[in-house]
Amino acid sequence: MTTLPQVAHYDYGQLLRAARLTTDELDYLIGREGRDAGPSLLSDAYSQGKITDATVTALVGGVWSGAEYPDQHLDRDEWRHLFDVAGFTIDGTPAPRPTEPVLLWRGTVPTRRTDWSWTTDRTIAEGYANGTAAHRPTGRLYALLAPPEALLAANDERGEAEYVVDTRGLNIQEGPR
């Protein structure tokens, strides 16, 4: 294991100088820098050849789920690439992709209805729609019958029954209240 210097903030130059980082080392660096640094750290480490596909597989779902507005840290093409590398995962573990469409819910403002964080738990989505979850602005409830090929990952580590869904070209409906 590489010994990482004990500094207040991670130096991206250190990432570029490292020959290779293990999953634990990158996870440690993300933890030190904070959840919003995760997307950039993961993407930079992968694009520089500093981590393996297995590290991407282990971390991408959690990095997505942990970041506040993850699509503001990397564009959707970058996220698609990372999720393609990982394959479908559940809480960072490779898993068979569902074979049938999954009914999902999202509570958000209309301009963010095509974002990628969805849930199987309507109550969770309603909390986001009415603004009580995460102190968000009041929005609307949306429903989506997501085909298996659009499902990128499932994350339940935060108890939100989250699916990461590539919503490109999907029919998102305003859900009944």
* Segment 30-68, tens digit of pLDDT: 888 888 999 999 999 999 999 999 999 999 999 999 998
pLDDT of the residue at 7: 40
Question: Do strands 151-155 and 89-90 pair parallel, antiparallel, or not at all (unpaired)?
Answer: parallel
| In the predicted structure, residue 139 carries a pLDDT above the cut 90 | no
pLDDT of the residue at 116: 96
- State percent of the chain over pLDDT 70: 86
Nearest-angstrom CA–CA distance, 144 and 171: 7
Instruction: Enumerate the β-bridge partners of residue 90.
Output: 93, 154
Choice between 131 and 8, residue whose per-residue pLDDT is larger: 131
Residue 85, classed as helix, strand or coil, is: helix
